[in-house]
Structure 1
Amino acid sequence: MDLCIIMIFRGPEEPFSPLLTGGTAGETGRPLSMFESSRIDSILVRAPNWIGDAVMSLPAVGAIGGLFPGAALAVLAKPWVRDVYGGDDAAATEVLTYEAPGRHGGAGGLVRLAAELRARRFDLAVLLQNAFEAALIAAAAGIPQRVGFDVQLRGPLLTTPVRLTRELLDGHHVDYYMAVAEALGAARPERPRPVIRLGADELDRADRILSREGIDASVPFVAMAPGASYGPAKRWHPLRFARAATALGRSLGAPVVVFGGPGDMDTARKVEEGTGTTVFNLAGRLQLREFMAVAARSALFLTNDSGPMHIAAALGVPTVAVFGSTDPKRTGPLGAHTAVVSSPPPCSPCFERTCRYGHYDCLDAVSTESVVEAALGLAERAAGRRR
């Protein structure tokens, strides 16, 4: 089985031309540039529900904000992704929390949420989340213009349904979300890619966290995120992460910091216990913006295909990702310093959470040596470009 190491550098591409259906835009095939920005004072963007998808939607949110520069732009997001859209220079002027489970859960919660949104009198809803429920809430909230992909039988609830083409499905998710912004009339950047910028106060907070943990903030460290909430078909073995941590820590003379959410704590502990070098385990101990700020201090980030992968790449940290059941052409990290290591068998990509055959060959075939080689090469190239 051949090993595949993919270096991802985004080049210029031809813009997508998604077909529009329904309403005036669908009848003429025109994008929604017919919306006069002076008539759009308030926009609601429904965010995706996964951290990685939220990061990949950032270029689209920025494009929407740029198209309507005088409008207030609120993002409606689940609690675990809301902080992706924060920050001093974020396109969103406000982030609203969709508390489900919680006060917005169930039929009564949907009615409550729709009433809250109706009181805000939004002029335009842009649905980057594809559930029928997203369109139902926007319509129930009385938002007059509702734009999103025509999926999940929700077309009648949209004033401008956007056709989901095979080209979009097979392309990168950044372009997938950008297509909705383009349907509004937004210009497509030559190289759309997510960027996360942190404020000075957030970076100061990161230094205090590192100091609290006994980590010298002036010394670059190797970061690792061995989890992936999607499922085991995206998780490289923790003992291989541990061996890679040992090799990279010794080669670079750097400590290793392990990250993860509450659900990754057992995996992170296995990495910590199996590593033969200085390692600090912060899994389950940081809020999302704290993780971003601490990760931004790292010299190298080793990860699975996961939310932390997209965050690290968007921060500009050299990022090496191990791919198993998923496709880097669709969800690979985008950035100046990114690499993907994979060894796909004939059944990959299958996009399954667990292996239907029970063997996980797509992950087992990725050796520690190949990942370490890719990581050291990327770290060297990144250091050379910084000189």
Structure 2
Amino acid sequence: MQGFEPEEPGNPDVVGWGVGPVLERFERVRRIAVLRGGGLGDLLFALPAVAALQAAYPDASVTVLGTPVHQELAASIAGPAYDVRILPFAEGIRPGPEDPAALEAFFTQMNRETLDLAVQLHGGGRFSNPFLLRLGARHSVGSRTPDAARLERNLPYAYYQHEPLRALEVAGLAGAPPAGLEARLRPLDRYAGGLDPFLAGESAVVVIHPGATDPRRRWPARSFGEVAAACAADGARVLVVGTRDEEDLAATVVETAASARVTSLAGELELGALAALLAAASVLVGNDSGPRHLAQALGTPTVGLYWAGNVINAGPLGRSRHRVHLSWLTHCPECGADITQIGWTAPRCPHESPLVAGISVGAVYQDVRMFTAKSPLPRGR
């Protein structure tokens, strides 16, 4: 089984099927570490695999090796029971100033904990597989590009693959079939009370998130503002959310809408309060970003703005609760570079012009109306 890469459906080591082959479970697994750095959405993509591992190894503890926002999510929202240990800064793992002493201390501590299984859900493995191997686990599984270090069981890495399904396919290498295809979370009651001034008496609440880590994924804030104005004119309460870094974007949405029923809460909400707001909302309108993925995990309908390549990796699977508006651009509007050749195989061009600017305001608004008007569509999970 050393270096296994699933190729033949008839392989005798394959005992079942999930998203991909489900191999035999490892024996005597009591401690599992899952490597998944990045932002809020990155952890949400990994949670179905975490749930699968927990179901396959019910006596094992699961620790996610992640980032501060992952730790905040685990502490402030109800969901799968797992711990989060914050990763040290390391190239290709967690961007920031590397401290060799901190790295050594991290690996020393992880080796002391005698991990039974290490699971790599952090990309193609060029940096993450060597990092994972230094944890000293008895068993290792993950994805890998041809130039990455081999783990005990390997999934060939292709950039264009739905991230939650990729994570589930990796979990299958460890003998864990899917327990669900998407993350499922619940808000904590303690955060709901502070939202009463914004939600009391409202029949429809539209939450707008105009931000995204990558500027190319951002629909123009003024386009969001036009949607906000139309929703407010229909009688909906519109709340604009975001981080402190996104306050200017939120202010532009509010300014464009020019309505007393449109308010910015950017920079004001803890993650738990954001989750409570999203769970109470009629719909979230946003780019391919963490709050959109969080709304989906909470069971809230969404209207998402996506570049076509991103929807392959990060789009919702269903369309009853989630509507997707696509930009089909294939070349950079500034330099003409082929923007479909991205990931580990090719460098991206340096330009940051939005790729989704051409999406129709009217089309987005019509989908929002589908969720704010009365509808027989159930909100149950």
TM-score (structure 2 length as normaliser)? 0.81
Matched with 2:335 is none
Per-residue CA deviation, residues 232-272 of structure 1 (Å, 9 max, x unaligned), is 21111111111100101222x12211111122111111112
| Cα contact 1:45–1:74 (8 A) shared by 2 | yes
Question: Partner letter of residue 187 of structure 1?
Answer: P
State which of 172, 192, 199 in structure 2 corresponds to 1:206: 192
Matched with 1:59 is 48
Three-state SS of the structure 1 residue aligned to 2:68 is coil
Per-residue CA deviation, residues 94-130 of structure 1 (Å, 9 max, x unaligned), is 2212243799933222211111212222111111113
**5+ long unaligned stretches in structure 1:** 1-19
Moved more, 59-68 or 285-294: 285-294
| Cα contact 1:227–1:260 (8 A) shared by 2 | yes
State which of 164, 180, 193 in structure 1 corresponds to 2:170: 180
Q: 1:25, 1:115 → 2: CA distance?
A: 32
Q: Shift of residue 133 of structure 1? A: 3.9
Three-state SS of the structure 1 residue aligned to 2:119 is strand
Q: Shift of residue 273 of structure 1? A: 1.6
Three-state SS of the structure 2 residue aligned to 1:215 is helix
Question: Partner letter of residue 365 of structure 1?
Answer: G
| Cα contact 1:170–1:330 (8 A) shared by 2 | yes
Q: 2:211, 2:42 → 1: CA distance?
A: 16
Across the aligned residues of Structure 1 and Structure 2, the Cα RMSD in angstroms comes to: 3.2
Q: 1:256, 1:355 → 2: CA distance?
A: 36
Q: 2:375, 2:40 → 1: CA distance?
A: 26
Q: 1:381, 1:87 → 2: CA distance?
A: 31
* 1:293 counterpart = 2:282: no
Distance 1:74 1:92, change over 3 A: farther
Matched with 1:12 is none
| Cα contact 2:199–2:205 (8 A) shared by 1 | no
Q: Shift of residue 188 of structure 1? A: 3.4
Q: 2:376, 2:189 → 1: CA distance?
A: 21
Question: Partner letter of residue 57 of structure 2?
Answer: F
| Cα contact 2:330–2:339 (8 A) shared by 1 | no
Going by fraction, where is helix more abundant, 1 or 2? Answer: 1
1:101-120 paired onto structure 2 within 5 Å: 105-120=98-113
State which of 83, 86, 111 in structure 2 corresponds to 1:97: 86
Matched with 1:146 is 140
Per-residue CA deviation, residues 189-218 of structure 1 (Å, 9 max, x unaligned), is 5x61221222xxx2332322x24xx32345
Matched with 1:8 is none
Distance 1:246 1:358, change over 3 A: same
1:34-45 paired onto structure 2 within 5 Å: 34-37=24-27, 39-45=28-34
Q: 2:112, 2:59 → 1: CA distance?
A: 20
State which of 317, 333, 353 in structure 1 corresponds to 2:300: 317
* 1:238 counterpart = 2:221: yes
| Cα contact 1:75–1:85 (8 A) shared by 2 | no
Per-residue CA deviation, residues 45-80 of structure 1 (Å, 9 max, x unaligned), is 112413222212211111011110111111111112
**5+ long unaligned stretches in structure 2:** 15-21, 333-337
Per-residue CA deviation, residues 301-352 of structure 1 (Å, 9 max, x unaligned), is 1101111111111111110011236432331134551001124245489367
| Cα contact 1:301–1:312 (8 A) shared by 2 | yes
Equivalent pairs counted in the alignment come to 353
Three-state SS of the structure 2 residue aligned to 1:303 is strand
Distance 1:333 1:207, change over 3 A: farther
Q: 2:111, 2:97 → 1: CA distance?
A: 14
Question: Partner letter of residue 244 of structure 1?
Answer: V
Three-state SS of the structure 2 residue aligned to 1:45 is strand
Matched with 1:163 is 156
| Cα contact 1:58–1:85 (8 A) shared by 2 | no
TM-score (structure 1 length as normaliser)? 0.80
Q: Shift of residue 21 of structure 1? A: 6.5
State which of 225, 239, 253 in structure 1 corresponds to 2:209: 225
Identity %: 25
1:19-38 paired onto structure 2 within 5 Å: 22=3, 30-31=13-14, 33-37=23-27
Q: Shift of residue 357 of structure 1? A: 7.7
Matched with 1:13 is none
Distance 1:176 1:365, change over 3 A: same
Matched with 2:242 is 260
Three-state SS of the structure 1 residue aligned to 2:192 is helix
Three-state SS of the structure 2 residue aligned to 1:75 is strand
Matched with 2:128 is 134
| Cα contact 1:57–1:174 (8 A) shared by 2 | yes
Matched with 1:341 is 325
Three-state SS of the structure 1 residue aligned to 2:53 is helix
State which of 199, 213, 232 in structure 2 corresponds to 1:216: 199
| Cα contact 1:207–1:294 (8 A) shared by 2 | no
| Cα contact 1:296–1:315 (8 A) shared by 2 | yes
